[in-house]
Amino acid sequence: MVEILYFNENTQKIKSAELREVQGLLQNDKNIIWIDFKYPPNIWPNNEEMNLLEKILGIHLLNIEDCVHVETQPKVEEYKNYLFLIINKLKFDDDKLEIQSLDLFLGKNFIITYKTEEIEEINLAKSSFKSGTNHIHKNPVLTCHFIADHIVDGYFGIIDRFDIHIDKIEARIFQTTDYARTIQDLSAFRENLNNARRSLVIEKEIFYNLSRGYYNMIGGEDQILFRDIYDHLDKNVGMVDNQRDSIAGIFDIQLSLSSQKLNEVIKFLTLISTIFIPATLISGIFGMNFMKFPLFETVYGFAIAIGLMILIAVIMIAYFRHKKWI
């Protein structure tokens, strides 16, 4: 599925176009063209669309392959007549992080977006492009900035959800004894944080380069647009780093609680064993096979032995309580 929009500087009109019209539109420098592709993963565009991408627009086949096979690693590559950019949209639902990649091709008078599913920021940009607000229809770089800026701004909401999830985990560790499940949840969430941070750090470097004039496609005035995105990404990375520290602290607390619980169990078993040691000693002594032994021939021998065991046990428990061991 492909949708094509274009703006003509002379007529100041924004219109839709057919695939066969794109070649003619590109020959007029007064036209700003946006081509939006949407295909499921691993589904190649049809022959007519491939001809448009490869032959007319000069898009390298490897870049098209990155779009088709869903390359989720953010990157930027500069070619002779366009800039290829991959950025990620993050989703955090049901305690699981999803990374959705968006591919952009930025040319002199065109921009191409390629996605595998609906992206809210693309639809928002289309509405703005069609209505003529924000002037993003007048420059492909403005369109690219609008999309990237809204995607990056959405990271703040994702990071806020991370904070809420961390608070829930932290509250739960003091209310449950299912330490194995808690550690499993912590490990899974730490992986989410690491994946999010990896994407943010790469994008931070990308937009730093875009804002510093490393690419010919981005002019001096346009570079300023990407500095704001870089600042936001820098804040995002710092916030995620703080959350990773929080998770590490929760891990330490969880391990301390597990060790404390284990120590309490060992302490209890040790006290029980200690209490029964005198009883074992007494029963061992009275179990010796001697012909002559005190209390063997009296009817009170058994009662005396049991009473002695209980007395010693009571004395030991009282002593333990005095020492506040139990």
Q: Phi first, then psi: what are they for 102, rounded to 5°?
A: -125, 125
For residue 145, how far is the Cα from the chain centroid? 24
Q: What is the distance between the alpha carbons of residues 124 and 127, in angstroms, rounded to a whole number?
A: 5
- Mean pLDDT across 92-112: 88
- Mean pLDDT across 72-79: 88
277 or 293, which is more confident: 277
Structure tokens at 236: 């995002």
Chain segment 128-152, per-residue pLDDT in tens = 888 887 788 888 889 999 999 999 9
Structure tokens at 260: 């404390």
| 139 and 287 share one domain | no
Q: Is the pLDDT of residue 310 over 80?
A: yes
Q: Mean pLDDT in the chain? A: 85
Domain C-terminal end among 237, 257, 277: 257
> Domain of 232: which CATH number?
3.30.460.20
Among 251, 55, 244, 64, CA closest to 159: 244
pTM (2 d.p.): 0.78
Chain segment 239-282, per-residue pLDDT in tens = 999 988 888 888 787 777 777 777 878 888 888 888 788 878 77
326 or 15, which is more confident: 15
| 149 and 285 share one domain | no
Structure tokens at 223: 């570079």
| 239 and 318 share one domain | no
> Domain of 274: which CATH number?
1.20.58.340
| 58 and 122 share one domain | yes
- Mean pLDDT across 120-124: 90
Q: What is the pLDDT of residue 151?
A: 93
Q: What is the pLDDT of residue 201?
A: 94
Domain range for 291 is 264-322
